[in-house]
Amino acid sequence: MKFTLSNVISRRRLDPVVGWTDHEFELSEKHKENFVSLFGHGCRQETKNALWQAANDDFRHVKNCGILGRVDFNEYEEGDVTYCAGQDYTSEVAFVRNWIKKYY
């Protein structure tokens, strides 16, 4: 089962039977490493550090926005993190990165 960065921030999950439920998500170290690798690729160490800090803090200070629902964490494949782009992968990844950096 997949969950999104938006789910992690809101701490809510859509259960097919009961609807929306509160849920604390546990990101593995591999999830965090892959997240920083995906969104920090080609960036300065300062940016990577901010992404690490956000991931280690379970993104608690990040304000939720719609595009964060496109960042998927796979619960059953250890550490799998993907981004599903709408139209422009490069600018959308930069937007997500900068959005998170705003809060860390």
The pLDDT > 90 percentage for the chain reads 89
Whether residue 25 contacts residue 71, with contact meaning beta carbons closer than 8 Å, is answered with: no
CB-based contact 93:83 (threshold 8 Å): yes
Mean pLDDT to the nearest integer, 55-80: 93
CA dist., res. 93 & res. 29, Å (int): 21
Domain locations in the chain as residue ranges: 2-102
Q: pLDDT tens digits, residue range 70-85?
A: 999 997 778 899 999 9
pLDDT digits (tens, 9 = 90+) for 12-40: 999 899 999 999 998 999 999 999 999 99
Instruction: In whole angstroms, give the CA distance from residue 33 to residue 84.
Output: 18
